């Protein structure tokens, strides 16, 4: 199974997206197709052994739309800017030509003279209307004809039928002495063009954050080849090549520093304002800015695999989400146009039978056609998702799937993993104790502990190793090393062939070691809220290390914010009860789970769900993966290297708990906006169509109202930008 994203040009309404989607879905080999009018793209999942990428693109082209190839993707926004300028001039000239025709409704200006027995005044109205309808409004008729040839109806068909009906009836009336409706045909065309221009401008603003994200990366890199610097395009650079980044330049690709050190600005990816110090062996990411030193970097990721590329891909995929309500709206939109044409015909027939006035009957039928355009229904969800996910990316909140917006709506409980989420995750050794009943020094206790810990990546182990470095402790080699989840580490001292241990009381009990001194020590320190690791040599506990982890500066603010949202906070940790109690009390959290093994965190989440709770789990995304998947919504605190493998629905790029609360707030706000958009889109059509049928709405007012409904939905979505 493979998934591709196809950029499409030429869609002008939600019905276009539905037509493309329908043709893709009915093709053998295509499992799913999601076409998004707002992002002008399609996400297609297909079986490679049945269909290929070129065939998928051909289906889009055969439906009547242009596929933007990858090579031209960079120029896509330039093309859109040119289109906007072109449309702007069309609107200006169209409005200028329409004004004299429209003004005659209120001021009966006259031009003396006749041609073929018809006044020059009528000829001028006709000529101006002809230019507006057939020159500046030609796109509506062209698209309508294409749709007709494929038996596919869309919004342009409604506009085309409406304006042509008003124009040709007026042309007939001009020769027979009837009433003219040229102003309706010209005004509808001008107003729809104006609406399209305003929609394009506001839609452009919605995608601007995404565009800026795409523009963050460098275009070329200075690669070292045989000791010389050679500039290369990023797509020509392979893994293992070495490039140079000078002060003030962007890092072009993800890699490892092999020479030099510097401070790097990673704010464009993480939202972190302070530069991060990097030295030999540290990973750097594409689009970050080198502040001072000269760096030599070995490439570890190709252009399409970098952290920036993954973020862009993730955000794009999230923007294709459709809420169940939107799927209903899309179904309605797909049958809406034929139904509206039918209603319009019935409106004409009803008014003609009732009044015998063919002119008014046509105008009322035209009003039904124009006011019923289902565009607002089609863009209600995608435009809100586009804005919400773009805002998230800008703020260091990566929303991996659009379902996150819906999942957050009814959440009532959030479970925070303590270490690394609410606390710094960088424990520090505060004190080392020795068992005075034995002949062991503090230096030897540190030596045993650090020699074991150097083989482990656990934060507690790293803190022990760092402490040993400050004491210039010489470490020994350990054989038969074993990491025991939730307990500690074990091995064999190669010098004395003796088993050595570093871990908690449970580990000592399992190894059947005398624990009297360990119990007394833990009793003494446990209420201070730290973690105690015991060091054993042979069958004796020789010492202990007291380790603490600082609470993050914005953790209290994050807890308060989730409480204000009506969500109950719970803390979960594998640490001892008193360490967890200390953090819980400091943050004002009443409920907590302590001494929970990593594999049991998922079970605790499941227990809460079984009680009817809707749960968010917020963790570091490494050993918390099962719990993140089990939760109704998983939020992972991630480093850049974890982007591709995180199990969470949302990834917090900046390692701050407050961002978790902001992610929930953004998700809820976005989903609330989707509901508002769909309500107004449905409400508009439910109210507008009966008014048009009853003859209370003129075609000009209908065109204005239809454009206004689109702008209402877009404008409402743009409110998400407000913090």
The answer to whether the CB of 361 falls within 8 A of the CB of 348 is yes
Residue 663: CA atoms inside 13 Å, Cβ hemisphere, count?
33
Q: What is the 3-state secondary structure (H, E, C) of 494-539?
A: CCCCEEEEEECHHHHHHCCCCCHHHHHHHHHHHHHCCEEEEEEECC
Which of 528, 639, 22, 1 shows the shortest CA–CA distance to 269?
A: 639
CA 225 to chain centre: 39
| Beta strands 591-593 and 615-619, pairing class | unpaired
C-alpha 148: how far from chain center: 36
Closest C-alpha to 697, from 342, 358, 365: 365
CA distances from 313 to 318, 319, 400, 401, 405 (A): 9, 10, 9, 11, 18
Check 254, 265, 330, 417 and give the catalytic one: 417
What DSSP letter does each residue of 274-336 carry, written as one string? S-EEE-TT-EE-TT-EE-SS-EEEEE-S-GGGSHHHHHHHHHHHHTT---HHHHHHHHHHHHH
C-alpha closest to that of 637 among 319, 457, 416? 416
Q: Residue 690's closest CA among 702, 679, 677, 700?
A: 702
Return the closest-CA partner of residue 283 out of 35, 22, 643, 646.
643
Question: Over the range 539-553, which residues count as b (16 or more CB within 10 Å of their CB) and which as e?
Answer: eebbbbbbbbbebbe
Task: Answer yes or no: are the C-beta atoms of 212 and 221 closer than 8 Å.
Answer: no
Return d(Cα 321, Cα 609) in angstroms, integer.
Answer: 25
Which residues lie closer than 8 Å to 332 by C-beta, 6 or more apart? 374, 377
Sign of the alpha-carbon dihedral angle for 278, 284, 285, 290 = positive
CB 666 within 8 A of CB 372: no
Helices assigned H by DSSP within 534-656: 555-564, 577-587, 598-610, 625-630
The first and second tokens of residue 213, run together, are 């994200």
Contact 415, 589 (CB under 8 A): no
Longest dimension (CA), the chain: 124
Q: For the chain, what is the radius of gyration of the CA atoms? A: 34
CA torsion, ordered 290, 291, 293, 296, to nearest 10 deg: 0
549: annotated active-site residue: no
Nearest Cα to Cα of residue 495 among 450, 437, 451: 451
Tell me which residues are annotated as active site. Answer: 417
């Amino acid at each position: 199974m493979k998934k591709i994203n196809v950029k499409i040009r030429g869609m002008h309404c939600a019905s276009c997206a539905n037509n493309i989607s329908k043709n893709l879905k009915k093709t053998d080999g295509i499992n799913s197709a999601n076409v998004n009018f707002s992002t002008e793209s399609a996400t297609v999942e297909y079986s490679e052994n049945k269909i290929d990428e070129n065939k998928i693109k051909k289906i889009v082209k055969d439906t009547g739309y242009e596929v933007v190839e990858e090579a031209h993707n960079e120029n896509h926004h330039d093309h859109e800017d040119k289109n906007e300028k072109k449309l702007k001039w069309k609107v200006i000239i169209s409005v200028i030509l329409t004004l004299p025709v429209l003004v005659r409704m209120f001021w009966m200006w006259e031009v003396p003279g006749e041609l073929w027995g018809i006044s020059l005044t009528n000829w001028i109205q006709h000529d101006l209307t002809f230019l507006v309808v057939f020159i500046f409004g030609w796109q509506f008729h062209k698209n309508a004809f294409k749709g007709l040839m494929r038996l596919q109806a869309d919004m342009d068909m409604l506009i085309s039928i409406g304006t042509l009906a008003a124009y040709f009836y007026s042309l007939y009336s001009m020769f027979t002495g009837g009433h003219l409706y040229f102003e309706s045909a010209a005004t509808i065309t001008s107003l729809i063009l104006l609406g399209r221009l305003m929609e394009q401008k506001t839609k452009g603003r919605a995608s601007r954050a995404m565009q800026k994200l795409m523009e963050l990366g460098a275009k070329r890199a200075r690669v070292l080849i045989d000791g010389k610097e050679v500039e290369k395009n990023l797509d020509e650079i392979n893994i293992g090549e070495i490039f140079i980044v000078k002060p003030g330049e962007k890092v072009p690709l993800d890699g490892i520093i092999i020479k030099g050190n510097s401070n790097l600005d990673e704010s464009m990816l993480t939202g972190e304002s302070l530069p991060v110090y990097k030295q030999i062996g540290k990973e750097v990411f594409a689009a970050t800015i080198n502040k001072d030193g000269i760096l030599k970097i070995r490439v570890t990721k190709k252009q399409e695999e970098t952290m920036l590329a993954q973020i862009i891909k993730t955000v794009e995929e999230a923007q294709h989400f459709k809420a169940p309500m939107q799927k209903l709206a899309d179904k309605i939109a797909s049958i809406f146009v034929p139904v509206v044409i039918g209603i319009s015909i019935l409106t004409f027939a009803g008014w003609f039978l009732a009044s015998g006035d063919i002119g008014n009957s046509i105008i009322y039928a035209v009003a039904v056609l124009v006011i019923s355009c289902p565009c607002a229904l089609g863009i209600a969800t995608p435009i809100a998702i586009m804005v919400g996910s773009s805002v998230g990316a800008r703020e260091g909140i990566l929303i991996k799937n659009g379902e996150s917006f819906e999942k957050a709506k009814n959440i009532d409980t959030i479970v925070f993993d303590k270490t690394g989420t609410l606390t710094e995750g960088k424990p520090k050794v505060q004190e080392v104790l020795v068992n005075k009943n034995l002949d062991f020094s503090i230096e030897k206790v540190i030596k045993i502990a650090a020699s074991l810990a150097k083989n482990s990546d656990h934060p507690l182990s790293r803190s022990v190793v760092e402490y040993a470095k400050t004491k210039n402790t010489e470490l020994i080699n350990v054989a038969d090393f074993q990491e025991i989840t939730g307990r500690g580490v074990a091995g064999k001292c190669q010098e004395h062939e003796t088993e050595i241990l570093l871990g908690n009381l449970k580990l000592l009990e399992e190894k059947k070691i005398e624990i009297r001194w360990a119990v007394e020590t833990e009793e003494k320190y446990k209420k201070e809220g730290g973690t105690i690791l015991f060091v054993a040599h042979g069958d004796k506990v020789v010492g202990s290390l007291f380790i603490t982890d600082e609470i993050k500066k914005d953790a209290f603010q994050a807890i308060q914010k989730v409480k204000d949202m009506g969500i109950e906070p719970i803390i979960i940790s594998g640490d001892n009860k008193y360490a967890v109690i200390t953090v819980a009390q400091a943050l004002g959290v009443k409920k907590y789970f302590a001494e929970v093994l990593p594999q049991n965190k998922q079970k605790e989440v499941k227990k809460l769900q079984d009680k009817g709770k809707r749960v968010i789990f917020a963790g570091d995304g490494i050993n918390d993966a099962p719990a993140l998947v089990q939760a109704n919504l998983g939020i992972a605190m991630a480093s850049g290297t974890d982007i591709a493998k995180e199990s969470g629905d949302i990834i917090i790029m900046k390692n701050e708990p407050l961002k978790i609360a902001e992610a929930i707030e953004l998700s809820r706000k976005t989903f609330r906006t989707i509901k508002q958009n769909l309500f107004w889109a449905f409400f508009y059509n439910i109210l507008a169509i009966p008014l048009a049928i009853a003859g209370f709405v003129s075609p000009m007012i209908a065109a204005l109202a239809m454009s206004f409904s689109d702008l209402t939905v877009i404008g409402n979505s743009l409110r998400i930008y407000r913090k």
